[in-house]
């Protein structure tokens, strides 16, 4: 199923055209807008064969709603919206090598976008996060992800703990990242059906999420022990480290 929406703002629209032009259906630009980047966006859109219309500011504001449009909006059609009921089929199709990224309550759209970008590069089976109390895929996420938001299966779920238990029944081993964990990420086998579970900014993994992990592991950080003042990694950085450790094992194993 496709999902149509309006994205607004110079950076968001420019990124959508640059990285995912096939899904940009129409661009509306403020008539008489003075920002030279609006002219650049218009030229880029026309080169990709995207319809461009000059409209008044009132029309732009009506389409953008609460979004800050900066003189440009675009009608965007995401490639696919995934449903949590499709998760079982995705895991089964991976034939014992499913790689899942599970995010527990990420709030910053820039962090989610960066996580999606790493996930796409690592070839993950799906990225899973709760529908409530977490940022959803929006224009900022799409811009930060550089098109990855539509090249990887992104699955918001109603109940994260229940989804984790369902994944375990499918043979997925869930590793939760926690700074105080005894075991190291680099000492566990990440080659089979694996879910890497990361917490949100600040609070990390919630209690129920922790309890539904098969094992908690940490990312060794020698700098923290050396008094460098580093207590934990940003969630998007941690996602990149964990995903590409799994990729390393799968390539060399």
Q: Does residue 199 have a known ligand-binding role?
A: yes
CB atoms within 10 A of CB 161: 17
Dist. CA 197–CA 209, nearest whole Å: 8
- Widest Cα–Cα separation across the chain: 61
The burial class, CB within 10 Å (0-12 / 13-18 / 19+), for 207 is exposed
Q: Are strands 99-104 and 194-199 parallel, antiparallel or unpaired?
A: parallel
The burial class, CB within 10 Å (0-12 / 13-18 / 19+), for 43 is exposed
Q: Which residues contact 24 (CB under 8 A, 6 or more apart)?
A: 13, 16, 17, 45, 48, 50, 74, 75, 76, 77
Q: Which alpha helices (DSSP H) does the chain contain, by range?
A: 10-20, 36-47, 57-64, 87-93, 109-122, 139-145, 160-169, 207-211, 222-225, 235-252
Q: Are 88 and 19 in contact (CB under 8 A)?
A: no
| Known binding residues | 199, 219, 233
| Known binding residues for S-adenosyl-L-methionine | 199, 219, 233
């Amino acid at each position: 199923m496709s999902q149509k929406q309006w994205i607004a703002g110079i950076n968001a629209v420019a990124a959508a055209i640059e990285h995912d032009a096939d899904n940009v259906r129409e661009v509306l630009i403020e008539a008489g807008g003075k920002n030279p980047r609006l002219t650049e966006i218009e030229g880029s859109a026309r080169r990709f064969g995207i319809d461009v219309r000059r409209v008044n500011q009132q029309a732009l504001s009506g389409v953008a709603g609460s979004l800050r449009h900066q003189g440009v909006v675009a009608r965007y059609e995401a490639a696919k919206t995934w449903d949590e009921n499709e998760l079982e089929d995705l895991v089964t199709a991976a034939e014992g090598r499913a790689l899942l990224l599970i995010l527990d309550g990420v709030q910053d759209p820039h962090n989610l976008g960066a996580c999606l970008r790493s996930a796409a590069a690592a070839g993950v089976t799906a990225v899973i996060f709760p529908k409530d109390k977490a940022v959803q895929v929006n224009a900022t996420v799409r811009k930060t992800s550089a098109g990855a938001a539509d090249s990887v299966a992104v699955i918001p779920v109603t109940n994260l703990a229940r989804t984790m238990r369902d994944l375990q029944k499918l043979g997925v081993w869930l590793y939760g990242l926690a700074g105080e964990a005894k075991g190291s990420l680099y000492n566990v086998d990440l080659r089979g059906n694996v879910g890497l579970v990361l917490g949100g900014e600040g609070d990390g993994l919630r209690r129920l999420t922790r309890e539904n992990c098969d094992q908690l592991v940490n990312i060794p950080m020698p700098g923290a022990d050396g008094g460098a003042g580093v207590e934990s990694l940003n969630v998007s950085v941690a996602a990149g480290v964990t995903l590409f450790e799994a990729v390393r094992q799968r390539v060399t194993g």
